[in-house]
Amino acid sequence: MTFQERFGVLAAGLALFSMFFGAGDLIWPLILGGQSGDHNFYAMTGLLITGVSLPLLGLTAMMMFEGDYRKFFGRIGTWPGIVVIFIIQAILGPIGSIPRLITLSHATLKPYLHEMATLPVFSVIALFVVLGFTMRKQRVIELLGLVLTPILLVSLGFILFLGFSNHPEPRVIEITNREAFTEGLNVGYNTLDLIASFIFAPLVLSHFVMKKEGEDEVALKKKALSKMFKASLIAAGLLCTMYVGLTYVSSFYTPLLSPDHLPEERLSQISMHLLGPSGALVSCIAVAMACLTTAIPLTSICADYIRDDLMGGKGGDILPIVITLGISAVIANLGFMGIAKALSPVLHILCPGLIVLSVLNIIYKLYEVRLSKAPVYVTFVLSALGRLLAS
């Protein structure tokens, strides 16, 4: 592999990490660390399983289908596949991820904003910024991987470094190790990374598929898949590092914070404690970068889906983006935890079935074994029944 190719893999890995690492990946580890206290190791382990291993599973499965998520989900049937794709696009787009990014940005930047910059006003401003970047989507991978992600990593790395320096002891929490581990597993679903892996894979994989004159198409695909897998490992490693750091720092410092702070304000308050009001601006930069780097590809992907699948290729490029961002602005006013509460039942029903589907599709591609759709349907039904019984 040439230096240019290695550099391209590194850039794609950083870009993939920045796409995954959005509002949920910042807030939920902080919530988990604060709740688990001295049991954080077990909670963090559960988070790494569902928050890192499962997205890597999804990316691997999608790579075997060359990034074609329509064929991937079509394995459970045409109409069931269409329904699942619609739900995933809605969750990752205007009713889930993008509104969460807006609320997190506002909550973190609020101490530095004018009082007139309420959440509705901030939403409009933020969406215009995202709109501007999304219109240049052909440069998204390069922009994310080479510019915004390094800023994000430096900002968060600085906070975590200070957080581990002379830290206080975590608070003793009256829970068992098993309860902490289970909570970590559940939090991993709430990051939405498993769902995102199915949609992000085609965007990054296309970055490597650039055919040269006379180059064999089969060899090109194998080479692209190899690079994509390496980029996925880079992204997974960075996610692990951030999850470990955020959960531990939160377990150390949450007891020292104001007891009535909102979950989305926790990173800002920890930074205030470590750096003071002026230095806490570092965390604001980190959050803004995380939100921006995730919102750009999400908006682009969702808008393409609306145009191509729901509008039959009509409506141009701008209208689908406006629809996506307009709905996002409305949903954002529910607040981060309001959105999370609405999504939680759907995620706990959807994710187990997607895990089973990924495993079956990998077996199908590796061994050409046509397995029944029944395990996927049974998993969906059992997850729904389990959710009903738990409520």
Mean pLDDT of 99-116: 83
Q: Please report the pLDDT score of residue 355 as a whole number.
A: 93
| 181 has pLDDT over 90 | yes
- Here the tokens at position 166 are 């002379």
| 210 has pLDDT over 60 | no
- Domain tally for the chain? 1
Least-confidence region, from 62-66, 141-145, 247-251, 290-294: 141-145
Write the pLDDT tens digit of every residue in 192-206: 888 888 887 777 776
| 4 has pLDDT over 70 | no
Instruction: Quote the CA–CA distance of 131 and 149 in Å, as a whole number.
Output: 19
Instruction: Quote the CA–CA distance of 151 and 157 in Å, as a whole number.
Output: 10
Q: Please report the pLDDT score of residue 285 as a whole number.
A: 74
| Domain-embedded: residue 65 | yes
The amino acid at residue 321 is I
Neighbours of 312 (CB within 10 A): 8
| Domain-embedded: residue 373 | no
**110 to each of 97, 106, 265, 357, 374, how far by Cα in Å?**
20, 6, 9, 42, 49
| 188 has pLDDT over 90 | no
Instruction: Quote the CA–CA distance of 281 and 16 in Å, as a whole number.
Output: 25
Instruction: Quote the CA–CA distance of 323 and 167 in Å, as a whole number.
Output: 46
| Domain-embedded: residue 384 | no
Q: Which residues contact 326 (CB under 8 A, 6 or more apart)?
A: 94, 127
Instruction: Quote the CA–CA distance of 232 and 197 in Å, as a whole number.
Output: 10
Q: Please report the pLDDT score of residue 178 as a whole number.
A: 92
Encode burial over 157-176: b for 16+ CB neighbours within 10 A, e otherwise. Answer: ebbbebbeeeeeebeebebe
% the chain with pLDDT above 90 = 23
> Domain with 112 in it: what CATH number?
1.20.1740.10
| Domain-embedded: residue 78 | yes
Kindly give the residue spans of alpha helices, DSSP state H, lying in the chain. 3-20, 23-36, 40-48, 54-64, 69-74, 78-92, 97-109, 119-134, 140-143, 149-164, 177-190, 193-208, 217-253, 266-279, 281-305, 318-332, 336-367, 374-390
Instruction: Quote the CA–CA distance of 385 and 345 in Å, as a whole number.
Output: 11
Instruction: Quote the CA–CA distance of 309 and 133 in Å, as a whole number.
Output: 23
Mean pLDDT of 290-301: 80
The amino acid at residue 49 is I
Mean pLDDT of the chain: 83
Write the pLDDT tens digit of every residue in 29-83: 999 999 999 999 999 999 998 889 888 888 888 888 888 888 899 999 889 999 9
Distance of CA 57 to the CA centre of its chain: 14
- Here the tokens at position 207 are 């970055």
pTM: 0.84
| 368 or 244, higher pLDDT | 244
- Here the tokens at position 195 are 């769902």
Q: Please report the pLDDT score of residue 316 as a whole number.
A: 80
| 211 has pLDDT over 70 | no
- From the number of C-beta atoms within 10 Å of its C-beta (0-12, 13-18, 19+), residue 372 rates as exposed
Mean pLDDT of 94-105: 89
| 377 has pLDDT over 80 | yes
| Domain-embedded: residue 89 | yes
Q: Which residues contact 276 (CB under 8 A, 6 or more apart)?
A: none
Task: Give the count of alpha carbons within 13 A of 41, CB side only.
Answer: 3
Domain of 263 in residue numbering reads as 3-337
Write the pLDDT tens digit of every residue in 247-282: 999 999 988 888 788 787 888 888 888 877 766 777
DSSP 255: G
DSSP 38: G
Cβ–Cβ under 8 Å, residues 147 and 254: no
Handedness of CA 152, 158, 164, 168 (dihedral sign): negative
Q: Please report the pLDDT score of residue 244 as a whole number.
A: 93
| 137 or 360, higher pLDDT | 360
Q: Please report the pLDDT score of residue 32 as a whole number.
A: 93
Instruction: Quote the CA–CA distance of 240 and 73 in Å, as a whole number.
Output: 28
Task: Give the count of alpha carbons within 13 A of 70, CB side only.
Answer: 3
Instruction: Quote the CA–CA distance of 191 and 53 in Å, as a whole number.
Output: 13
| Domain-embedded: residue 250 | yes
| 153 or 242, higher pLDDT | 242
Write the pLDDT tens digit of every residue in 331-345: 998 888 889 888 888
Q: Which residue bears the tokens 């409305």? A: 330
Q: Please report the pLDDT score of residue 22 as a whole number.
A: 77
Least-confidence region, from 28-32, 63-67, 130-134, 211-215: 211-215
| Domain-embedded: residue 151 | yes
| Domain-embedded: residue 70 | yes
